[in-house]
Amino acid sequence: MASEWTLPLIQIELDGLPLGCDFILAADDTERLFGMNSAAARRITNFAVGHGCRAIFRRNDLVFQKRVQAGPPASAAESDSLECFPPLGAPPQSTGDDHPPADCR
């Protein structure tokens, strides 16, 4: 069965994802949307960072984990904070092995 996920739909999901929550994309969707060549991992990582997430590559799926709020920084001094690290004082992040924060969908 073909998935209906598109990059624009995934962007909307990632932008609205609460901090610490995960969005899981099946391996076949990952291959269809990003490819499986030597540049695919970098494309996925760039896509994740651009939406305030980190990419976790697993055997059967790809996990985008929300690390920071997406969007442009409020000032040039904050521009380094978009690197996939949680802001100071943020709640503990889910690793996929434990329970996600209570505000996750």
Sequential DSSP letters for 20-54:
T-EEEEEHHHHHHHH-SSTTHHHHHHHHHHHTTEE
Q: Which is higher by pLDDT, 30 or 99? A: 30
Query: Residue range 76-94: average pLDDT?
Result: 42
| Amino acid 101: pLDDT | 60
| Amino acid 77: pLDDT | 42
Q: How many whole angstroms separate alpha carbon 72 and alpha carbon 34?
A: 24
* Beta bridge mates, 22: 65
User: Above 90 in pLDDT, residue 74?
Assistant: no
User: Above 70 in pLDDT, residue 88?
Assistant: no
CB under 8 Å, gap of 24 or more: what pairs does 77-85 form?
Answer: 82/49, 82/52, 83/49, 84/48, 84/49, 84/53, 84/54
Q: In the structure, what pLDDT confidence band is assigned to residue 28 with cuts at 50, 70 and 90?
A: very high
Dihedral sign for Cα 68, 69, 70, 76, please: negative
Q: Where are the domains of the chain?
A: 7-68
| Amino acid 104: pLDDT | 75
Query: Residue range 34-38: average pLDDT?
Result: 89
**Encoding tokens for residue 82?**
């978009």
Query: Residue range 87-99: average pLDDT?
Result: 46
